[in-house]
């Protein structure tokens, strides 16, 4: 098999994987619309999508992930550091919030499955929390990168007298996560709304909490 054949085979496999993933998501979302969240099982999703449970779990860890999506993002310290540097933010909170919002913008929001999912979570309040949490699935792994970044950027530290670098980074990441969820919630629930930028989100939060 020549290199062209290998490339074509790899492209075919990737296309098949994408089609299978989309079939699972479409089945999960459609079933919730028909039977409600509580009436949907992994077995039902598999039957509708025409796949085995083994195939399902190759793509999604839970039925929730198939229904509301899961925010996967490859995190490497070098890439994270470069991204945070690019924002030239005065605080770690602002830099992390900017990064989280940019990651959200990079997701597919225009495809038919994405539109089906947004419509579903808008109409099903119980799913909104799952949708917001799963959109930032990568954040726990991100905390270590944020700690390493803050340790190498002492000028960004604001609580060095009271917190160690890991705790300070964790506080910044936790608040940035909730702020990003707030921005995504606002964009999802309001027809035609766009995702706010970090400056606007921070301005609203400061007005709200004083």
DSSP for 73-122, written as a single string:
----HHHHHHHHHHHT-SSHHHHHHHHHHHHHHTS--SSHHHHHHHHHHH
Annotated domain spans of the chain: 3-68, 77-209
Residues 136/100, Cβ–Cβ less than 8 Å: yes
Distances (CA, A) of 169 to 16, 27, 89: 40, 39, 15
Give the pLDDT of residue 10.
Answer: 65
Give the pLDDT of residue 2.
Answer: 58
Residues 126/37, Cβ–Cβ less than 8 Å: yes
Calpha distance 137→33 (Å, rounded): 24
Give the pLDDT of residue 6.
Answer: 47
For residue 194, give both structure tokens.
């766009």
Measured from the Cβ of residue 151, the count of other Cβ atoms closer than 10 Å reads: 14
Q: Using DSSP, how many helices (H) and how many strands (E) does the chain show? A: 11, 0
- Mean pLDDT of all residues in the chain? 90
Q: What is the dihedral of CA 179, 183, 188, 190, to 10 degrees?
A: 130
For 65-94, what is each residue's pLDDT tens digit? 999 987 666 778 898 999 999 999 999 999
Name the fold adopted by 3-68: Arc Repressor Mutant, subunit A (1.10.10)
Q: Which helix (DSSP H) or strand (DSSP E) does residue 124 occupy? A: none
For 141-155, what is each residue's pLDDT tens digit? 899 999 999 999 999
CA-wise closest residue to 66 among 92, 48, 87, 90 = 48
Task: Calculate the CA 208 to chain-centre distance.
Answer: 25
Confidence (pTM): 0.82
For 34-64, what is each residue's pLDDT tens digit? 999 999 999 999 999 999 999 999 999 899 9
């Amino acid at each position: 098999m020549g290199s062209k054949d290998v490339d074509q085979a790899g492209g075919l496999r990737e296309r098949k994987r994408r089609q299978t993933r989309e079939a699972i998501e479409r089945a999960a979302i459609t079933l919730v619309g028909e039977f409600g969240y509580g009436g949907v099982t992994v077995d039902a999703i598999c039957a509708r999508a025409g796949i085995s449970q083994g195939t399902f779990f190759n793509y999604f860890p839970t039925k929730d992930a198939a229904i509301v999506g899961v925010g996967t993002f490859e995190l490497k310290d070098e890439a994270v550091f470069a991204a945070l540097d690019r924002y030239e933010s005065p605080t770690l909170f602002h830099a992390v919030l900017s990064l989280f919002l940019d990651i959200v913008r990079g997701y597919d929001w225009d495809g038919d499955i994405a539109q089906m999912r947004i419509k579903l979570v808008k109409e099903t309040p119980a799913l909104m929390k799952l949708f917001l949490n799963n959109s930032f699935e990568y954040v726990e792994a991100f905390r270590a990168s944020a700690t390493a970044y803050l340790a190498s950027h002492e000028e960004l530290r604001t609580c060095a007298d009271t917190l160690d670098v890991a705790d300070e980074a964790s506080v910044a990441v936790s608040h940035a996560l909730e702020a990003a969820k707030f921005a995504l919630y606002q964009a999802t629930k309001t027809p035609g709304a766009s995702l706010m930028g970090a400056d606007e989100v921070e301005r609203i939060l400061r007005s709200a909490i004083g």
